[in-house]
Amino acid sequence: MNYPVDTSVQLRAVLRALRRKRALTQEQAGNLLGVNQRRAAKIEGNPEVTGFGQISRLVTALGGRIVIEVADSPATSTSTAAAANTKKKNARAKRPSDEW
């Protein structure tokens, strides 16, 4: 199952859900990371102030993995098409002239 995360509030909910899915207490999850219950609670409750390394280790310890997905949006595809057109125009401008 995938859990899209766009905000720290969503990440907090996902971390809690992963831990509960494995029927672990915060103390047990902390033990998997080598931290005490208090630190595990801080990581889960305030992921926005936690380093990526600890977040990724916690996610892995809870049986998850972190995946970065590039979202396709009209703005992205439009700017990509515009960049391709500019590149083509520049390539044509650099061709040697047939005229002397």
What is the per-residue pLDDT for 2? 84
Q: State the pTM of this model.
A: 0.67
pLDDT in tens for each of the 100 residues of the chain? Answer: 788 898 999 999 999 999 999 999 999 999 999 999 999 999 999 999 999 999 999 999 999 999 988 988 766 555 555 555 555 555 555 545 444 4
What is the per-residue pLDDT for 73? 73
Of the candidates 16, 10, 57, 3, the residue with the CA atom closest to the CA atom of residue 34: 57
3-state helix, strand and coil shares in percent for the chain, rounded to the nearest 5: 65, 0, 35
Torsion 11-12-18-21 (CA) sign: negative
Q: Which domains does the chain have, with CATH numbers?
A: 8-61 (1.10.260)
- Residues across the chain: 100
Q: Which residues of 6-42 are buried (b: 16+ CB within 10 A; e: fewer)?
A: eeeeebbebbeebbeeeebebeebbebbebeeeebeb
Number of Cβ within 10 Å of residue 3's Cβ equals: 13
